[in-house]
Structure 1
Amino acid sequence: MDRPKLVASDVDGTLLDPLEKVTPRTAAMIAKVLASSTPFVLVTGRPPRWVTPVARAAGLSGYAVCTNGAAVWDLGADRVVSARDVDPLQLGDVTHALRRLLPDIRVAAERTPADSSSLAVFATEPGFRNPWGHPTGIDRPKGTGTGGGMDVEDNVVPIAEVLGHPATKLLIRHHGLTSGELADAAHSVLNGAGLEVTYSTDRGLIELSAAGVTKATGLAEVCELLDIPAARVVAFGDMPNDLEMLRWSGHGVAMANAHGDVLTAADEVTARNSEDGVAQILERWF
């Protein structure tokens, strides 16, 4: 394609190296993209509170697409542009239906309030554990560190509280299954429920969003705000939650470390995230 008018990149496993850092080569490439007045948009499954540190390290202050497309975040203004929620009735129906098949699941809810609501942005039932550990120190084990955010134990509430408020994402964990197996189980019992089921790790976690909400829809919203057509977008990703975005963009690029479905769907495969694969492609144009 001609030089893109917008660059969109997933974060974990794509833009960040295996140590969850923006390498000097990648940071320099992002700076060149921005210097050409080309927007660089983070498109991630992370919630806004886990995107800000990455944006800061990458030197970004524009829009970010968070929570698998359910929220658009203005990094510079530190505000929610839009958010698409799953209502509490659906959250409860989905959880109870899947729990009948898999009694050992544990669930959590990610929320993106548009104002300074007193509602916790992240709520888990007892026994839920994030497979990523505690990235960026935001949700840290109780009694460790002095950074911002709540201790993990502060997020634990009764299941009725987890499911009792609208959420931008429902997370379902099962320690005995891969994410692919858990997604298949969810599809088998949720047929007709209308929710989007995806995953960004294969360690027994799936992520559910409102009907029709994907990274592609979130990125399309940003492109509409910036008046940029899909055909002039280059997008990078590595996991099934990136599939719709890669297919929607004018040029979809998979990392060499990507999930097999992503490798098949992409227009091109670049080097691994440990080898600055995003930067290697962008160096063609910038």
Structure 2
Amino acid sequence: MQRTAPLAERPAPLFVVSDIDGTFLNSKERVSPRLRNVVANMKRQGTVFSLATGRPARWLLPVLEQLVVKPLCVCANGAVIYDSARDKIIRAVELQPAVLTDTVARLASDVTANQEEPALEGVTFGVERVGTSAFDRADELFCVTRSYDHAWLSEEHKEMSLEELVAQPAVKLLVRNPRVCSQELYEAVAPRLNSQHVNVTFSWDGGLVEISAPGVSKQSALQWIAEQMGVTGEDAVAFGDMPNDLEMLTWAGVGVAMGNAHDDVKNAADIITGDNDNDGVAEILETWFL
């Protein structure tokens, strides 16, 4: 850890938020008994808990069924807030068709073929649209171009032309190139886009960049939740492992990077804990909630 003494001196946080993959879940996609116990203790003590993820709401169900709480969840890297207790999307910030069309045009292979950028050669695209529930039909929300190379096994999606893909609003645009790592793809994508029009990040290493509306991040959604609670970032502890967690870690009073985190995340965090297979989240939270 980078610092340990101040934790014991701090009062118990009023708000705790954790990324899911590589952070809250272990490599078997399970919540450990130790962590589940800490979350239960937080609930008893009145601390509010949230999950913040790049996942859509429908991908939260296997996680939520392992918990004793039904939290407000930040989905799609902050573009969506999902109330799991009511199974209801309560807030969504979308990319509009004009922005989607312009973004794709700046990145599509036929436009960039002569720009000496191998990472963009042959990129394909997908979108996540927002519904009203975690039980909405996935093939109405997850849409991809016909040549899209799926990062995860998917049978619940709809294939369509690029023109159809960008014709409706979406909470997230996916840029996919499995031949490069996500860092390399990000470094090719981000300079071609205007940060006033979109926000670019990534949450997985295997050649996938995620694009949201400007100003959208996990922090922006958590700040909205905190305002409803009457607390601030200083009252929060946040856990993460990838660049899409950076804003929320620097916003929180204590930002914690996992031992398995991306180097940029470790450099930005206040504390580095154990990895996700060794209860790194529980290790910190037991300071207050043992």
TM-score between the two structures when normalised by the length of structure 1: 0.90
Measure the CA separation in 1 of the matches of 2:106 and 2:160: 20
The answer on 1:110 being equivalent to 2:119 is no
The answer on 1:127 being equivalent to 2:147 is yes
Q: Which residue of 1 aligns with 2:172?
A: 169
One-letter identity of the residue aligned with 1:263: K
Matches within 5 A, 1:136-285: 139=154, 151-152=155-156, 154-191=157-194, 194-285=197-288
Alpha-carbon RMSD across the aligned residues, in angstroms, is 1.7
Q: Which residue of 2 aligns with 1:80?
A: 89
Measure the CA separation in 1 of the matches of 2:48 and 2:195: 37
Measure the CA separation in 2 of the matches of 1:25 and 1:129: 37
Q: Which residue of 2 aligns with 1:91?
A: 100
One-letter identity of the residue aligned with 1:285: W
Give 3-state SS (helix, strand or coil) of 1:217's partner.
helix
One-letter identity of the residue aligned with 2:149: R
Report how many aligned residue pairs link the two structures: 269
TM-score between the two structures when normalised by the length of structure 2: 0.89
- 8 Å CA contact 1:256, 1:271 repeated in 2: yes
Q: Which residue of 2 aligns with 1:148?
A: none
Give 3-state SS (helix, strand or coil) of 2:140's partner.
coil
Measure the CA separation in 2 of the matches of 1:73 and 1:156: 26
One-letter identity of the residue aligned with 1:180: Q
One-letter identity of the residue aligned with 1:275: N
Unaligned 5+ runs, structure 2: 1-9, 113-119
Measure the CA separation in 1 of the matches of 2:25 and 2:146: 31
> What's the CA shift for 1:83?
0.1
1:260-282 alpha-carbon deviations (Å, 9 max, x no partner) = 00000000000000001000100
> What's the CA shift for 1:192?
5.2
- 8 Å CA contact 1:60, 1:75 repeated in 2: no
Q: Which residue of 2 aligns with 1:5?
A: 14
Unaligned 5+ runs, structure 1: 140-150
The 1:117/1:89 distance shift into structure 2, 3 A limit, reads: farther
- 8 Å CA contact 2:99, 2:197 repeated in 1: no
Give 3-state SS (helix, strand or coil) of 1:8's partner.
strand
Deviating more after overlay: 98-107 vs 42-51: 98-107
Deviating more after overlay: 180-189 vs 238-247: 180-189
Give 3-state SS (helix, strand or coil) of 2:189's partner.
helix
> What's the CA shift for 1:79?
0.5
Measure the CA separation in 2 of the matches of 1:177 and 1:269: 28
Measure the CA separation in 1 of the matches of 2:136 and 2:276: 37
Measure the CA separation in 2 of the matches of 1:197 and 1:190: 8
The 1:229/1:204 distance shift into structure 2, 3 A limit, reads: same
- 8 Å CA contact 2:195, 2:214 repeated in 1: no
Measure the CA separation in 2 of the matches of 1:66 and 1:130: 19
